Copies of this chain bind each other. A is one copy, B any other.
C-alpha cells in the first residue's frame, strides 16, 4: 500500500515538476529521492506520524477559504522541536516544500500545497510550557489554541485576549498576524508576541528574541520577532510563541445599539475613541448582516446598521465608560442600549457575532463564503462602506458586512455559488475593486487575514516595487531555495 502511494506521490511530484518548469530534465533524481525522504521521516518521528493517506492529505491542503484544495504529498505529525528540525533538514536535503499547518482555520489559502511537498501538522505539540503569572507571560507550543490557553489560564486571573473568532492555534495566529474583535483595546499579535522559536528552512532553530527571553520591551538588534509575525510560514516554522497576558477584567458588560445610518455608527466609533473610552470591542454589522444574524442565531435586533460593544474594567469604571459611550451614541441618533450583562447573555451575543460567517452562509444554502479584509483610516470608513454596499447591489452579490470598526477593518462576507463560474468571476472583480478602493483611501488590502494566495498581486500594488524587492530579498536570505510555503505572500518570479 505504502509503496503504491509512494509511486503515486512520485508521479504527482513529477507531473507538477514538468508542468511548472515545462521541461523534462532534473526532476527524476529529485523524485527518486522521495523514498529516501519518507524513510528518513519515519525514522525521525515514527511510522504512525508520517501520513500518505488521501483523506489526511486532502484535509491538510485546504483552509476555510474558497481557494482550491492542493493536498501536500505527505503529512508529518512531529512531537517536538527537535523532530521538526530534523524533518526540515531532510526536506532541505531533498528540496521538498514545507507547509506548516496549525488548525487550518486561515482565510487566504495559506496551507494550500501549491507545489506539493511536506505538510508539518503541529497539532501534537500542544503543551503550555512556561507560565509566569507575575510577569504576565506564557510560552506555548504550536498545537495550543487560543481557547485551550484560556481554559488553562482559567484559575490564574489572567487571559490572552486576541480573538479572531476561530479557535486558531496561537502560533498560527502569530504566523498570520491575526487580530479580531478586541484588537482595538489589546492590540494584534504584533503587539502581543514577545518571542518566537522558529525552525528555519535548513532546520536550524532560531529564537527571535534570544532563547527563553521575555522582557516586556527590548531594543536589542533587529526586530526578528515581528519579521516572523505575519510571515505566513514563508520564512520558517513557528514552534513556540511567548505571549503577553492580561489581568481578567473585574467586570465586563456588552451592549447593542442600532443607528439610522452607517455614517452615524462610524461617527460614534470615532468619537468614543477620541473621548479616550478604553472600549474592549466595537463591532459594526450592516443591515444585511444583522438580518442574517437574527435569522441564524434567533435574535431580534432591528435590521439597521448596528454596533456590538463591550466594556472591560472595574464596576466603577464600566459605569463611566458606558455613560460616555451612551451620550455619544445618542447624540448620533443611536437607539437605547440593549444590554448583555450576565456571562451567558454576553456569550450568546458574541457567539452570534462570531457565527456571522455561518449566518452569511445560511443566506444561501449550498453556497460558499469568501471574506474580504480591507482596513482603512477611520475617517474613510463611512465612504468605503457606502460605496461597497452600492457595488454589491449593482453587481447582484450577497455580501453582509461585519467589521472591527475601532481599527477601520471590515469584512464583506460574500456568499457565492462555487459551481457558477460567472458569479465567481463577479465576486473576484468585486473583491479587487474593494481592495483598490481601500488602497485609494490610504488603507490596506488585508487588515488581519494575510496575503496567502489571493492577494499577492494586490500586495504589489499596495507596497510598491521597492518594498516588494526588499521583501523578496528577505525571503531569499532566509529561504534561498524557496521551500518554505512556496507561492504564498510573494508571487513566483519569472523564470
Listed in ascending order, the chain A residues whose CB lies under 8 Å from chain B are: 132, 134-137, 157, 176-179, 183, 187-188, 190-191, 200, 204-224, 226-227, 229-231, 235, 246-247, 249-250, 270, 273-276, 278, 313-314, 316-317, 320, 324, 373, 375-379, 407-409, 439, 442-451, 455, 459, 462-464, 466-468, 470-471, 473-478, 489-490
Residues of B within 8 A of A137 (CB): 377
Residues of B within 8 A of A178 (CB): 219
A134-B378, A276-B250, A466-B204 are known contacts. Are A190 and B220 too (CB-CB below 8 A)?
no
Residues of B within 8 A of A191 (CB): 187, 191
Cβ–Cβ contact A227 & B230, under 8 A: no
A210-B467, A216-B375, A451-B220 are known contacts. Are A274 and B157 too (CB-CB below 8 A)?
yes
Cβ–Cβ contact B274 & A219, under 8 A: no
Cβ–Cβ contact B379 & A215, under 8 A: no
A sample of 10 more A-B contacts (CB under 8 A), given A183-B217, A205-B466, A247-B276, is A136-B274, A188-B217, A190-B223, A190-B226, A215-B409, A217-B408, A219-B448, A226-B227, A249-B276, A317-B320
Cβ–Cβ contact B464 & A473, under 8 A: no
Residue of B nearest to A443 (CB): B215
Cβ–Cβ contact B249 & A218, under 8 A: no
Residue of B nearest to A376 (CB): B215
Residue of B nearest to A465 (CB): B204
Cβ–Cβ contact B478 & A211, under 8 A: no
Copies in the complex: 2
| 12 A/B residue pairs, CB under 8 Å, sorted by A | A134-B274, A137-B377, A177-B218, A209-B444, A216-B377, A216-B378, A217-B408, A218-B375, A226-B227, A246-B276, A314-B324, A476-B477
Residues of B within 8 A of A270 (CB): 134
Residues of B within 8 A of A451 (CB): 219-221
Residue of B nearest to A187 (CB): B191
Residues of B within 8 A of A276 (CB): 246-247, 249-250, 313-314
For residue A292, give the distance in angstroms from its CB to the closest CB of chain B. Answer: 25
Residues of B within 8 A of A190 (CB): 217, 223, 226
Cβ–Cβ contact B207 & A467, under 8 A: yes
For residue A269, give the distance in angstroms from its CB to the closest CB of chain B. Answer: 11
For residue A410, give the distance in angstroms from its CB to the closest CB of chain B. Answer: 11
Residues of B within 8 A of A179 (CB): 217
A210-B467, A464-B211, A466-B205 are known contacts. Are A220 and B135 too (CB-CB below 8 A)?
no
A221 to B231, CA, bound (A): 7
For residue A274, give the distance in angstroms from its CB to the closest CB of chain B. Answer: 5
Residues of B within 8 A of A205 (CB): 466
Residues of B within 8 A of A375 (CB): 215-218
For residue A392, give the distance in angstroms from its CB to the closest CB of chain B. Answer: 22
Cβ–Cβ contact A467 & B208, under 8 A: yes
Residue of B nearest to A205 (CB): B466
A14 to B477, CA, bound (A): 33
Cβ–Cβ contact A462 & B204, under 8 A: no
A216 to B467, CA, bound (A): 19
Residues of B within 8 A of A490 (CB): 221
Cβ–Cβ contact B219 & A247, under 8 A: no
